[in-house]
Structure 1
Amino acid sequence: MHFDSFSDFLAMGGYAGYVWSAYGISALSLLILLWTSIRKSRRLAADIKNRIAREQRIKAAENLENTL
């Protein structure tokens, strides 16, 4: 589609409300998806780190118990 001016581009032939709201909703959805994915990934990494540390503490306690 060819537009004569920038204001015609923004007006989108009278459908600006639909077009720009669709772009806005899509961009917002993608940002929310990105944010939740990053948050979940960080939480999972922290859980794995905590689980590994707990297993190491348990093994250290078992080794200490075996030496007594």
Structure 2
Amino acid sequence: MQWQSWNDFFAMGGRGFYVWGSFGVSFVLIVAELWWLRLARLASLRRLRQLQQLESDSE
């Protein structure tokens, strides 16, 4: 495809809403996944610290 202007590029031949909408949804889902992974990592590290503390207290 060749575009004559930036407006043509963003319009994507009349399908711009679907093209850019899918990019937007994908971006939001990737950011949400990274955020969720970070929270899960922090929870795992917190749990490991608790287990280490319990182990050292029992000795």
The TM-score range, normalised by the shorter chain, is over 0.9
Select the structure of larger CA radius of gyration. 1
State the partner residue of 1:38.
38
TM-score normalised to the size of structure 1? 0.81
SS across alignment from 1:19: helix
TM-aligned CA deviation for residue 58 of structure 1: 1.1
State the partner residue of 1:29.
29
State the partner residue of 1:58.
58
Would you identify which runs of 4 or more consecutive aligned residues in structure 1 move more than 4 Å? none
Aligned length: 59
1:10 aligns with 2:14: no
- RMSD value over aligned CA atoms? 0.8
TM-aligned CA deviation for residue 10 of structure 1: 0.8
TM-aligned CA deviation for residue 49 of structure 1: 0.7
Query: Taking every aligned residue pair, what percent have the same amino acid on both sides?
Result: 27
Q: Which has the higher contact order (CA 8 A, sep 6+)?
A: 2
Any gaps of 5 or more consecutive residues in structure 2? none
d(CA) in 2 for partners of 1:4, 1:43: 51
d(CA) in 1 for partners of 2:14, 2:55: 63
TM-score normalised to the size of structure 2? 0.93
